[in-house]
Amino acid sequence: MESMASVRAVLIDIDGVLTVSWKPLPGAVEALRALRAGGLGVALVTNTTSRTRASIAETLSGAGFPVDAEDVLTAPAVTAAHLAEHFPGARCALLNCGDIGADLGDLVLVEEGADVVLVGGAGPGFDYAALNRAFGELQRGARLVAMHRNLYWRTDDGLQLDSGAFLVGLEQAARVEAEVTGKPSRAFFEAALARVGVGAERALMVGDDIESDVLAAQRAGLTGVLVKTGKYRPETQRNAGGTPDHVVDSFADVPGLLGLAQ
């Protein structure tokens, strides 16, 4: 772990860190402004699969956050780039809730006869019929690619099931293992570091998911900061597969951690 004085960029999860149900958490807007004022590079890295980068940036900007679409890196955008590189022209059966077409680029989406079953984020569309269609494609030889493995996320109504809970069932039933392209994959963090133009040893990752955000970032060489907002739960931290470099109450504490004035 490098000295905080060497940190030149901060990667930040959105849901549960900056916002809950897209409403700013206390002090989050001011903290992000302080990072900007301190000259630090910023990338918002999210497994959110219900909105495009442009929509996310518009919502956050409207709430006062100093961000635009170029600051946002989503799991769908990274996934589209990965598939274009490794499976060019692949026919993809998309299982996702939300309109993310703009972030999927030129991916070929089909209802059947897929080369890849692409799993995004859960919601009402994850019904029996949709899951069973995905299962059928996997039985016929399609690869399974998941944008993330999140089991749940926090909303105004509390914790809600996410696609990771269903992904386990598809893997077990079809006897396949999903390739994950969003967090916690190393490729996702490498893409974010390339966006801000710094090495892992000079970057901080702030998240509310100890495994996918913080420990995964630490394995990729970044300094990890766990916030006690969003999906954070004390028992999850106790049972985690490692120890965060830093734990703070909320994102509002990050500028102070870096020695910046607010």
pLDDT given for residue 115 in this prediction: 97
Looking only at the bridges linking them, the beta strands covering 158-161 and 152-155 are antiparallel
pLDDT given for residue 219 in this prediction: 97
Q: Counting every residue, how long is the chain?
A: 262
Give the residue ranges of the chain where pLDDT is below 70: 1-3, 261-262
Gap between the Cα atoms of 93 and 39, Å rounded: 42
pLDDT given for residue 156 in this prediction: 86
pLDDT given for residue 262 in this prediction: 64
Which CATH architecture fits 4-47+183-258?
3-Layer(aba) Sandwich (3.40)
pLDDT given for residue 1 in this prediction: 46
Residue whose C-alpha is closest to residue 195's, from 183, 187, 207: 187
* pLDDT per residue as tens digits for the range 175-221: 999 999 999 999 899 999 999 999 999 999 999 999 999 999 999 99
pLDDT given for residue 154 in this prediction: 84
Q: Does domain 86-180 have CATH number 3.50.50.60?
A: no
**Residue-range domain boundaries for the chain:** 4-47+183-258, 86-180
CA 166 to chain centre: 17
pLDDT given for residue 153 in this prediction: 86
Cis ω before 244 (30° cut-off from 0): no
CA separation, residue 47 to residues 52, 109, 153, 163, 259 (Å): 11, 20, 10, 11, 29
pLDDT given for residue 3 in this prediction: 62
Q: What predicted TM-score, i.e. pTM, was given to this entire model?
A: 0.85
pLDDT given for residue 4 in this prediction: 83
